[in-house]
Structure 1
Amino acid sequence: MSDQEVVVNKNKAHRKDKPWDTDDIDQWKIDPFKAEDNKAGAFTEESSFATLFPKYREKYLREVWSAVTRALDNHGIACTLDLVHGSMAVRTTRKTYDPYIVLKARDLIKLLARGVAINQAVKILDDETACDIIKIGNLVRNKERFVKRRQRIIGPDGSTLKAIELLTQCYVLVQGNTVSVMGPYKSLKEVRRIVLDCMKNIHPIYRIKELMIRRELAKDPKLANESWDRFLPQFRKRHLKTSEKTSKKNELLAAKTEARAAAGLPTQASSSKPAKKVYTPFPPAQQPRKVDLQLESGEYFLKNSEKEAKEAERRKKKQEETTEQKRAQRAEAFVAPAETAAPSVQEKRKRKAAAEEDAPTEGESKKKKKKKEKSA
């Protein structure tokens, strides 16, 4: 027998001698809760939950309510469907043995009300599955912007939603003003983060890329005890420096100047700045108050009736001026434009005779040309 076999046999004997040794027990395993585990027996008080559902879900719920009843009967939960008030309710009975199953049943009717199918919603009764209903209706005020960002969660042909489901091992349903999620607790946090960031105008592809990198890093046992920050992408908005902002502004001004020059418009000098004011250490003179102005004009000492009469007279005068201006504007439309009459035959003859007198004769024009040639 080898030394290694001897050590193994000694360990086995040690465990038989000490049954309290828990090295082989999986501390993280969750055992299912059975009826034998409830030592106290039936519950002394009844617990119940109810939720409303929209009108368009009424037909579907009537069709699948028998399946809901069968699923809850296995756990000793009674359920009722009220079509008059549009509500669903669940409650514990004498057969209920699991104290937490009534909360699972509450989640079940919530998911059914939010549009989840019965075959998917029944999975919430398992201990390893949880749900989260994310409200997104009040995160964006603009309706069009809200619809665009909600569609961004789904993606083209549902590709973004499928990627989120594959990476987080969750079921995600976008319906109305809510997003219903089913899956493990850790994955629910990731999906909530993706959805809320998407409604804050951060595209889901950034979080999806980060999840893909994390999944690949988890396969390497060497990186189990190391920080993954150096591998994860940092998606942050880059703030420009002052010099970069100035250069960008100068480029825009240069492009604008070239465009104006090409169009034949006068260019504006970018360096022209308004003249600086002369600095004076003394503050400006204080402006008079309204009471001071009234004291100067004597209005302050008038009675209330006199003040009202003066104000009414001022208003009437202003109204008359406005009325006169509008009357003049309306009268302009009826003023005939100035017409230029065609010249008569006599006027034409006079103009022609005056033009002939002013024009030089042929002999005079030849003399002027010879003088110019000699001087040259």
Structure 2
Amino acid sequence: MSAPVRVMLVEDSLVVRQLLAHIVSRDPRLALVAAVASGEEALREIHRVSPDVISMDIRLPGIDGLETTRRIMAERPTPIVVVADAVEDASLRISMNALRAGALSVVEKPVGTGHAAYEAISGQICTQLRIMSQVPVIRRRAIGAERLGRPVPDLPAEAFREPGIPSHVAVAASTGGPPAFARLLGALPADFSVPILLVQHMGAAFMEGFADWLNGVVPLRVVLAQDGVRPVAGHVYVAPGDRHLALGPAGLLATSDEPPVGGQRPSATVLFRSLARVAGPRGLGVLLTGMGEDGAAGLRDMRAAGAATIAEHESSAVVYGMPAAAVRLGAAGSVLPLDLIAPRLLRAVQPGVPAPGGPVPGGAA
């Protein structure tokens, strides 16, 4: 039997800290090695206890959880799971920025043992701590920056050929997604000429806050998708919490509570398959960082329908699970590092117009 995952808790509330300690201690696959009340204590203790994963509060006295995350990722990179209050706007913004600084996921704070949702939330916390403890993390200033510094293999000219001007773009990610979306969408202009549909695996309670945060850091208009809305250019439509997002036959957005696909709702495969059906060769699908295989089968369907498909290259992906699955299935027409995907999208929607920064390395002149 493998050794239990070593967990350090960072939480200033004594009540919540004790509750988290109880939750962690009752899971035999986890071992509580430290429980501290401040970022300063966390930075001191991390070298002594060498945790495999850290549960990070955001609203801390002294240096907050965001700054603590930044320092840990710069000094002693360790997987971090943010445990946040989903209803506090300030906490949500800090939580999203902590993901951008290197934290891997965000989960809801635990509720009291008598609450109906106690077991579900407790289980989610333990699952995230176990899963994220296995993610290799690197010393970084901004998530993915050093990965993009690695040598990238020469990419064939075929990877940059345009199959036609797309009418819709679909993008999806899981672990590492929020900062990846901030970089990708942040490199597109506010007048990007097609709508973008987005799936991010994240707790339902955080999706509205995620959309609001993303709207504040990219030029495009980012909103939660609503059933029956016709998507328009320059807008990003985020799948709501615990609901699938699809493009309907009439070109309208459709959200549903149909069963999860591959364990996920929203599912990237559901979104991609809808574009394969409705947009055909005028769809464009992008699958970014994430654990598991969600999206790979849907991206394959898009490619079979004649659409352009892109998977993130291993050199920039925080977790090369979902993109790797797409590559194995032959679903990816292009495999590109994160910073080359936005120029590729611009070339697709504006054929003949060079993307900012000149020709794309590895592509045709």
Which TM-score band (shorter chain)? Answer: under 0.3
Question: Which structure: greater strand fraction?
Answer: 2
Question: Which structure: greater helix fraction?
Answer: 1
Q: Which has the higher contact order (CA 8 A, sep 6+)?
A: 2
Q: Report the TM-score, using the length of structure 1 for normalisation.
A: 0.20
Greater Rg over alpha carbons, structure: 1
Q: Report the TM-score, using the length of structure 2 for normalisation.
A: 0.21
